[in-house]
Amino acid sequence: MSLTLNRWRFYVTPERVLSVCFIVLLAYLVVVPLFMMVKETFIVHPLERFQIPGSKVNDFTLAHWYRFFISESAYTFFYRPLVNTLIISFGLSFLALLIGGAMAWLVVRTDMPLKETISNWAVVPYILPSWTLALAWISLFKNDRIGGEKGIVSALTGFEPPDWFAYGLFPITITLALHYFPFAFLLIGGALRNIDAQLEESASLVGAGRLAIIRRITIPLIVPSIMAAFLLSFARGLGTFGTPAFLGGPVREFVLSTSLYGNLIGQRPGLGYLAALVMIVIGMLVLYMDHRMVGARKSFVTVAGKGARLGLIELGRWRWALAGFILFFLFSVIVVPLVALAIDTVMLIPGVYSWENLTLHYWIGEASYSIGLGTGEAGILKNPQILSALKNTFSLAFVVAVVTCLMGILVGYAIVKRRGTFISKCLDQISFLPYLIPSIALGATLLAMFAVPRGPIPSLHGSFLLLVIVCSISALPYAVKAGISAMRQIGGELEEAALMAGAGWWTRMRKIIVPIQKSTYFAGMLLPFISVTRELSLVILLVTPTTQLATTISLLFTDRGWYPYTNGIVFILTVVVVGCTVLSRRVMGTSLAKGLGG
Partner 1 sequence: MPDIVLDKVSKSFTKQTHAVEDLSLVIPDGSFTTLLGPSGCGKTTTLRMIAGLEQPTSGEIIIGDSVVFSGKTGAFVAPAKRDLGLVFQSYALWPHFTVAENITFGLEINSVGKKEINKRLDEIASALRLDSLLERYTSELSGGQQQRVAIARVLIMEPSVLLLDEPLSNLDATLRMEMRAELKRLHRETGATIIYVTHDQLEALTMSSHIALLKSGVLQQFSAPLEIYERPANRFAADFLGSPRINFVDATLDQDSLSWGDVMIQLPKSAKKDVGPRVSLGLRAEELGLSRTCGPGMVEGRVLTVLPTGADWYYQVRVADEVLTIRHNDEIPFNYEDIVYVEIRSKSLKIFDDAGSAIL
Partner 2 sequence: MKLTQIRSRLATCLAASVCMLFATHSGAEDWSKIEAAAKQEGKLLVYSTTSRTAKAAKAFSKSTGIAVEVVRLKEQELITRSYQEAQSGVHKVDMVVGEDWPAARELLNNTGYFVNYIPPTAKKLFAKKHQNPLVLGYINRVFGYNTEKHPNGDPLKSVWDLTTDEYKGRVMIRDVAITGEHQNALTEWVRRSSDLEAAYKKRFGKSLEMTEANAGLEFIKRLLQNDAIIMTSDTKIAAAVGAKGQEKPPYGMFYVYSKHRDIKKKDLALSDSRQIDPTLGYMYPIVLQLSANAPNPNAAKMFMEYLGTIEGFAPWAKSPGVYTPNPNQIPFDGDMPLAWWEERMWLYDLDYAAANRGNVLDVWLKYAQR
- Told to check if 357 binds partner 2 by CB under 8 A, we report no
Per-residue binder mask for partner 1 (CB under 8 A), 385-424, x = binder: -----------------------------------x----
Secondary structure (3-state) at 114 = coil
For residues 483 and 495, give the distance between their C-alpha atoms in angstroms, rounded to a whole number. Answer: 15
Per-residue binder mask for partner 2 (CB under 8 A), 316-355, x = binder: ---------------------------------x------
- Told to check if 384 binds partner 2 by CB under 8 A, we report no
Among 560, 579, 587, 589, binds partner 2 (CB under 8 A): 560
Q: Which is nearer to partner 2, 299 or 544 (CB)?
A: 544
Site for partner 2 in 421-480 (CB under 8 A): 451-453, 458-459, 461-462
- Told to check if 7 binds partner 1 by CB under 8 A, we report yes
Beta carbons of 401 and 474 less than 8 angstroms apart: no
Per-residue binder mask for partner 2 (CB under 8 A), 65-94, x = binder: ------xxx-xxx--xx-------------
Q: Which is nearer to partner 2, 349 or 588 (CB)?
A: 349
Query: CB under 5 to 8 A by kind: which of partner 2, partner 1, none does 3 bind?
Result: partner 1
- Told to check if 273 binds partner 2 by CB under 8 A, we report no
Work out how close the CB of 588 gets to partner 1 at its nearest, in angstroms, rounded to a whole number.
14
Per-residue binder mask for partner 1 (CB under 8 A), 418-457, x = binder: --x-------------------------------------
Neighbour-count burial for 150-186, b at 16+ CB within 10 Å, e otherwise: ebbbbeeeeebbeeeebbbbbbbbbbbbbbbbbbbbb
Query: CB under 5 to 8 A by kind: which of partner 1, partner 2, none does 507 bind?
Result: partner 1
The CA dihedral of 241, 244, 245, 250, to the nearest 10 degrees, is 180
Q: Which is nearer to partner 2, 171 or 262 (CB)?
A: 262
For residues 182 and 561, give the distance between their C-alpha atoms in angstroms, rounded to a whole number. Answer: 30
Q: Which is nearer to partner 2, 38 or 367 (CB)?
A: 367
Query: CB under 5 to 8 A by kind: which of partner 2, partner 1, none does 461 bind?
Result: partner 2
Burial class of residue 139 in the structure, from the number of CB atoms within 10 Å of its CB (0-12 exposed, 13-18 middle, 19+ buried): buried
Query: CB under 5 to 8 A by kind: which of partner 2, partner 1, none does 6 bind?
Result: partner 1
Q: Which is nearer to partner 2, 385 or 395 (CB)?
A: 385
- Told to check if 252 binds partner 2 by CB under 8 A, we report yes
The count of C-alpha atoms lying within 13 angstroms of the C-alpha of 265, restricted to the half-sphere facing its C-beta, is: 11
Work out how close the CB of 402 gets to partner 1 at its nearest, in angstroms, rounded to a whole number.
21
Query: CB under 5 to 8 A by kind: which of partner 1, partner 2, none does 51 bind?
Result: partner 2
Q: Which of 344, 346, 325, 327 is nearest to 335 (CA)?
A: 327
Number of neighbours of residue 130 by Cβ within 10 angstroms:
25
C-alpha dist (Å) from residue 577 to 129, 182, 211, 539: 10, 16, 40, 18
For residues 473 and 466, give the distance between their C-alpha atoms in angstroms, rounded to a whole number. Answer: 11
Output DSSP code: residue 148.
S
Sign of CA dihedral 427, 431, 436, 440: positive
- Told to check if 12 binds partner 1 by CB under 8 A, we report no
Work out how close the CB of 7 gets to partner 1 at its nearest, in angstroms, rounded to a whole number.
4
Site for partner 1 in 481-520 (CB under 8 A): 491, 493-494, 496-503, 507, 511-512, 515-516
- Intra-chain end-to-end CA distance of the chain, in Å: 51
Among 251, 346, 423, 494, binds partner 2 (CB under 8 A): 251
What would the DSSP string read from start to end of 339-397? HHHHHHHTBSSTT--SGGGB--HHHHPPP-SSSTT--S---GGG-HHHHHHHHHHHHHH
Helices (H), 352-511: 361-364, 384-417, 422-436, 439-450, 464-500, 505-507
- Told to check if 373 binds partner 1 by CB under 8 A, we report no
Largest Cα–Cα separation, the chain: 90
Beta carbons of 411 and 472 less than 8 angstroms apart: no
Contact residues: partner 2, CB under 8 A:
46-47, 49-53, 71-73, 75-77, 80-81, 144-150, 163, 245, 249-254, 262-263, 265-267, 349, 369-374, 451-453, 458-459, 461-462, 544-546, 559-562
